[in-house]
Structure 1
Amino acid sequence: MVFSRRPLLAGLAAAAFLPLLPRRAAAHGYTAGDIAIGHPWSRAAPPRGTGAGFMTLKNNGSTPDRLVAARAAIARTVEIHTHLREGDVMRMRQVEGGVEIAPGAEVAFTPGSFHLMLIGLQEALVQGQRVPVTLVFARGGEVTVELAVESAGFRPSGAPAGGHNH
């Protein structure tokens, strides 16, 4: 039986480059310092309108961190928003100072709660596309994630209201 060294050498070469790859924790997850960023996604949206970004942020460290900003080339500006009830009306508001993620805590960015607002889209968000967005954390620094664009009416099945079951 003859064995080829090529697969072994290719595997070793690939392993040598793993530390140089982007800071991705899993197939659709990322990390920034102690923050694990899970399943970033968006819904399809037309150009010149607004889009939204959703994900989970989990602090695996012993020190609080804070998502303080975000930016994306596809949008004129990106703001961190939440929904607040004012009487019988739900209103969307920009979050001043960012969103704190306490040690051991997980913060869900979901429809009807915290989310990234992509304002002034330069082009459409198309189902099946992945859209780069850079998140800025006070301690963890910057990390670029890709929002997986779902259908315009996408509502995750089997997940809590507004959650994402990827």
Structure 2
Amino acid sequence: MLKHILLLAALLLPGAFANAHEYTKGDLHIAHPWSLELPPNAPNVAAYFVVHNNGTQDDRLLGVDSPISDDAQLHEHITTEAGLMKMRQVQNVAVPAGRDLTFAPSAWHVMLMQPKDRSLLSDGQRFPMTLHFEKAGDITVNVVVQKQPLTQDPHQAHTH
């Protein structure tokens, strides 16, 4: 019986980790970094993730880099006085203690300008991206490229 249970666990365990790509360093936990598949005529691509700050001190995301682009930028969406949605680059982003910071479409996001190897930006591919935090230091993640945006990710629903 124990042999059957161990065999079943061995068969199921890889599947449990296939979708879970999460990263923890110190008090910060990065959940499911992802990007949409790059359309043929798009010059840039965005990356998204959720940062859970489980600590008692604020941290700050100072920047991002990736080998697929010489220019990775932190961006936010804002609404102008005329009521238009606009994207703008920011130098850093606060990560409040005990809170989540969500990078998602129409919100905070990473823009990877003029990607070097577009083949890495097709459905199912992964590419590395390093997040540079003021206190936690560098956290390198693998961004999963998807055809469709995520529907409700259980990590995005996570609150403290």
TM-score (norm 2): 0.77
Deviation at 1:89, TM superposition (A): 1.2
User: Equivalent residue for 1:132?
Assistant: 128
Pair 1:51-2:45 in alignment: yes
Unpaired stretches in structure 2, ≥5 consecutive residues: 1-18
Give the aligned CA root-mean-square deviation in angstroms: 2.1
3-state SS in 2 of match to 1:75: coil
* Greater helix content: 2
| Percent of aligned pairs sharing the same letter | 35
User: Equivalent residue for 1:65?
Assistant: 59
Moved over 2 A (4+): 155-160
Distance in 1 between residues matched to 2:32 and 2:144, nearest whole Å = 8
Mapping of residues 76-95 of structure 1, within 5 Å = 76-86=70-80, 87-95=82-90
User: Equivalent residue for 1:42?
Assistant: 35
Distance in 2 between residues matched to 1:72 and 1:158, nearest whole Å = 26
CA distance change for structure 1 residues 158 and 64 in 2, over 3 Å: closer, same or farther? Answer: closer
Distance in 2 between residues matched to 1:159 and 1:32, nearest whole Å = 21
Deviation at 1:95, TM superposition (A): 1.3
AA at the equivalent of 2:128: P
3-state SS in 1 of match to 2:78: strand
Aligned positions, number: 134
Moved more, 26-35 or 120-129: 26-35
CA offsets per residue over residues 58-78 of structure 1, 9 Å max, x none? 101111101110000101210
AA at the equivalent of 1:82: E
User: Equivalent residue for 2:140?
Assistant: 144
User: Equivalent residue for 1:30?
Assistant: 23
3-state SS in 2 of match to 1:56: strand
TM-score (norm 1): 0.75
Does the CA contact (< 8 Å) of 1:42 and 1:53 recur in 2?
A: yes
Does the CA contact (< 8 Å) of 2:36 and 2:149 recur in 1?
A: no
AA at the equivalent of 1:136: H
Structure showing greater radius of gyration is 1
